[in-house]
Amino acid sequence: MKVVKILAVFVASVLFFTLNGKAQDCNPYKIIKTLISSQEINGNFPIVDSLFPIQTKKKSVEFIGLLTKEEQKEFKKNVKATSGFKLCADSLAALKLIPAPPIFQALAKFDASSAKIIDNNKPFYLASAPVFFHNNTKAIIYLILVKGFGSIYILEKKGDAWVIVKEIYGWTS
């Protein structure tokens, strides 16, 4: 319960959600589909139907030592410009989508009734809206399996396909 509460505080305080976020120049569905095809997303678990925008602090971007200084600068700039993104079920037939409002409200409030909402839906995925940079040939997305793990994925566009080039593991519960 304490770990779930910590996750709720983290999501509520660090990740600000925008339900009607505008679409980006690049297609978030291709990123999600890459995670599905590479089996990083288990199709048996649902995903919240809205992607939250990544919010960073100076220290949290330093782990991306895999990026050049120019890429880090562009990434930080693009993080500020990235908003939430509402997923369309027709575009992700392989996944069950669950409505975001009750989940985000439960994570922000987190009391006994909120914990029940989370427990009734677990396990499920929360994903950030991908941040595109390096002339839209690289992307970073954060994926959390509530009651499981969380990872940050760095992807590169190779031709028309996105490829995972690095996964940075985390643990949530």
Tens of each residue's pLDDT in the chain, 173 residues: 544 444 443 443 333 333 223 333 467 888 888 888 888 888 888 889 888 877 655 445 555 567 778 887 887 788 777 778 888 888 888 788 999 888 888 888 878 888 888 888 888 999 988 988 888 899 989 898 887 788 889 999 998 899 999 888 775 55
Q: Which domain holds residue 48?
A: 2-171
Whether 26 and 135 have beta carbons less than 8 Å apart is answered as no
Concatenating the DSSP letter of every residue in 131-155 gives: EEETTTTEEEEEEEEETSEEEEEEE
What was the pLDDT predicted at 63? 54
Instruction: State the total domains in the chain.
Output: 1
What was the pLDDT predicted at 21? 32
Query: Could you give phi then psi for residue 11, rounded to 5 degrees?
Result: -65, -45
What was the pLDDT predicted at 157? 93
